[in-house]
Amino acid sequence: MSLYEVQRLFYELGVNRELHDRFQADRAAVFGGYEVTAEERAAILDLDVPRLSQMGVHPILLLQYARSQKLPTDDFLRMLRGEGRGASKERG
């Protein structure tokens, strides 16, 4: 677990437009700067909202990341409530 690093990535995507653009262009490429586990990396890349929430990502950072990935709020909430595609992808 490296929750701090997951959250640092989300924070920096919010405040650093250049990083955000780079991430959008090639999402895998920015991970070198963050010490996240393979599981965390997968949850980030899959936009696995329930898993990220379960890991303890702060709700504001989670919402901001979802917004930055153009996930509509309704879908975000459905996933968070376990009603959407996120729940079906939940990992053990």
Partner 1 sequence: MTMGGIVAGMAAIHAPMMANAPELAPAAQRERVFGAFRALGASLREARPDLLLVVANDHFNNFFLDNMPAFCLGIGEAGEGPMEWWMPLQRRRIPIHQPFARALLRAAVAEGFDLAFSEKLRLDHSVMLPLQLMGAPDVPIVPLLQNCFIDPMPTPRRCLALGRLIRQVAEAGPWRVAVLGTGGMSHWVGVPRMCEVNEAFDRRVLDLISRGDAEGLAGLTDPEIEAAGNGAHEIRNWITAVGATPGHKGRTLAYEVVPPWVVGAGVVALEV
CA 89 to CA 11: how far, in whole Å?
A: 25
Shortest CB 30 distance to partner 1, Å: 17
Q: Is 91 in the site for partner 1 (CB under 8 A)?
A: no
Binding mask 47-86 for partner 1 (x = CB under 8 A): ------x----xxxxxxx--xx----x---x--xx-----
Among the residues of the chain, which ranges form H helices?
A: 3-15, 17-25, 38-45, 49-55, 59-68, 73-80, 85-88
Find where tokens 């640092």 sit: 8
Determine the size of the site formed for partner 1 (CB under 8 A).
22
Side chain identity at residue 75, one-letter code: D
What is the binding site for partner 1 (CB under 8 A)? 4, 7-8, 10-11, 14-15, 17, 53, 58-64, 67-68, 73, 77, 80-81
